[in-house]
């Protein structure tokens, strides 16, 4: 049995262990609640049974549980400078036993674990069952939808961890991978501006029509493009190319 309200109550207890006045912590507290709702909406758009809708909500609520300890220990969201937050969250939940605070029934453990581990990977791992793949795709879409939202509403310093993003440039290899429609190699990210490319690249990783419609209706790509400006003119031209490429792909997928 999945009791979403019980899980939410436990979540509110858990976050009291952290400094919610910290901008990074506060950002993630709100993000996880919104991803929970995004997951529910996507699941409902697919006409899933109630159990899978509730399971999607639970995964949405827990997907970034590793972020709190990541910030506490390393003061960063940059995985390559700290830990893989998806794998770290799965460890906290399933190796340290925190999962039983949120759900007593262990029959969903493998689905939850694989969804969380795969939510931030470049690609979903091979070998998942049909139901595991379903929930891995739902959480990946739900997470990306709110990352667009966060990138537009939160302070750029909190999102990109840079006080002078406008002075930065893109790494050539990351830009090349984007333009060649390749999976971005996050290990090659060198500048905070590269994270901007990652955000536009997310539209290529969406799985469901509902998700494309949300991006389109909220004008996430257009608003993100208009919000970011670089002093280097070549970088600004690259940003325009990135936006146009991503927006053209979006339009093709909402027809």
The pLDDT tens digits for 78-112 are 888 899 999 999 999 999 999 999 999 999 999 99
Contacting residues for 118 by C-beta, under 8 A, at least 6 apart: 86, 124, 125, 128, 136, 139, 140
Intra-chain end-to-end CA distance of the chain, in Å: 38
Report the Cα 115 to chain-centroid distance in Å.
Answer: 12
The span from the CA of 8 to the CA of 171, in Å, is 40
Q: Identify the pLDDT of residue 255.
A: 77
The span from the CA of 204 to the CA of 248, in Å, is 11
Report the Cα 159 to chain-centroid distance in Å.
Answer: 12
The pLDDT tens digits for 13-71 are 999 999 999 988 999 999 999 999 999 999 999 999 999 999 999 999 999 999 999 99
The span from the CA of 252 to the CA of 235, in Å, is 26
DSSP 132-198: HHHHHHHHHHHHHHHHHHHHHHS-HHHHHS-S-GGG----HHHHHHHHTTPPP-GGG--STHHHHHH
Element (H, E) at 231: none
Q: Identify the pLDDT of residue 187.
A: 82
The span from the CA of 25 to the CA of 21, in Å, is 7
Query: What value does the mean pLDDT take over residues 143-169?
Result: 90
Q: Identify the pLDDT of residue 1.
A: 85
CA neighbor of 114 nearest in space, from 95, 97, 133, 130: 133
The pLDDT tens digits for 155-165 are 888 788 888 99
Query: What value does the mean pLDDT take over residues 226-251?
Result: 97
More confident residue, 243 or 183: 243
Confidence band for 142, pLDDT divided at 50, 70 and 90: very high
* Backbone φ, ψ for residue 176 (5° rounding): -60, -45
Query: What value does the mean pLDDT take over residues 221-250?
Result: 97
* Burial class (CB within 10 angstroms; exposed 0-12, middle 13-18, buried 19+) of 152: middle
Query: What value does the mean pLDDT take over residues 221-234?
Result: 96
Domains of the chain, each with CATH number or no CATH: 1-154 (1.10.3210.10), 163-255 (no CATH)
Q: Identify the pLDDT of residue 163.
A: 87
């Amino acid at each position: 049995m999945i009791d979403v309200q019980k899980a939410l109550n436990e979540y509110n207890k858990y976050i009291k262990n952290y400094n919610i006045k910290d901008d990074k912590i506060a950002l993630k507290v709100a993000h996880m609640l919104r991803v929970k709702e995004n997951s529910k909406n996507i699941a409902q758009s697919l006409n899933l049974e109630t159990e899978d809708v509730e399971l999607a909500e639970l995964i949405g609520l827990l997907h970034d549980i590793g972020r709190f300890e990541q910030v506490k220990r390393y003061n960063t969201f940059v995985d390559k400078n700290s830990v893989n937050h998806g794998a770290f969250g799965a460890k906290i939940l399933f190796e340290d036993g925190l999962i039983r605070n949120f759900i007593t029934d262990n029959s969903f453990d493998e689905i939850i674990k694989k969804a969380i581990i795969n939510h931030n990977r470049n690609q979903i791992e091979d070998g998942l069952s049909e139901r595991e793949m379903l929930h891995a795709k739902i959480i990946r879409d739900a997470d990306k939808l709110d990352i667009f939202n966060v990138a537009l509403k939160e302070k750029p310093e909190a999102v990109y961890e840079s006080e002078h993003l406008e002075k930065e440039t893109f790494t050539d290899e990351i830009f090349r991978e984007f333009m060649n429609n390749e999976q971005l190699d996050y290990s090659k990210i060198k500048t905070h501006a590269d994270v901007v490319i990652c955000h536009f690249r997310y539209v290529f990783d969406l799985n469901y029509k509902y998700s494309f419609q949300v991006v389109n209706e909220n004008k996430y790509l257009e608003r993100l493009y208009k919000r970011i400006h670089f002093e280097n003119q070549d970088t600004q031209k690259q940003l325009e190319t990135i936006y146009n490429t991503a927006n053209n792909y979006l339009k093709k997928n909402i027809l």
